[in-house]
Amino acid sequence: MTPNASASGDTDLVVVPRHHHPYLEPHATGGFIPFAHRGGTSEWPENTLPAFRHAVQLGYRYLETDVRLTSDGLLAAFHDDDLRRTAGRPGRISEMPWAEVSRILIDGREPIPLLADLLEEFPDAMINIDAKSDDTVEPLVALLRSMSALDRVCVGSFSHRRLRRVRGALGPAVCTSASPIEVLTWLSGRIPSGPSCFQVPVKQGPVTVTTGDRVERARRAGLPVHVWTVDHPQEMQELIDIGVHGIMTDQPAVLRSVCEHNSLWPTT
């Protein structure tokens, strides 16, 4: 099977997006999207400005991050529910004002940025945003509007209710990925009406989510498939071989090498 081939034998990655959104524009001409997941973790702590800068210096245009709301209503680029894993201390961002959160160092090295910092520092980057809690939705909608950032973000969430609220507030102006319920619809052989794309793992527990047949069915429906979080080059290659349209990784240099080997690294 050729590197760009899907399981059905299709030899290109062209997706005519069902939702014509600028975020997905590369797919309309067969482009593959490499994502730096949380900016990448190989050189710098996750979800920190140096991590995102490193990814951009490597040539990444698509960056993935998460948002949590501080107690005074600001959106921090942070994944976990609490600070133990990344900062080695107890506490929740949701219970702290930004003045306190801004003094916390990830891995003892780098501060937690605001989502607004990412949008401002990387005006040419596309940002994939995982809304981690219900209270992030309204501030996120307001921030994206105020910063005129709707053309360069995709909002995802493990909560169907959150995504429904985002879609209800912003309509087709925002790109959204499929919720878990919508992914189950896809796995059952049907195509959900709400999402602009699928962003899924290779497997969920014992269930293989990403297969060539499913990727091809999504492609024909105009929904690209992005897979997370893939760090091993062999697995990256296997996913490229079945025709996925993008990969999220914590190892951006590794994914760049695999993309270049397959002539999939973006040139612009």
Q: Which residues are catalytically annotated?
A: 37, 79
Q: How many CA atoms lie within 13 A of 247 on its CB side?
A: 30
Q: Beta strands 75-77 and 62-69: pairing type?
A: antiparallel
Tokens of 20: 């014509």
Cα dihedral 125, 126, 132, 133 sign:
positive
Chain Cα centroid distance, residue 36: 8
Q: Which amino acid is at 210?
A: T
Burial of 267 (0-12, 13-18, 19+ CB in 10 A): exposed
Q: Which of 1, 13, 50 is nearest to 246 (CA)?
A: 13
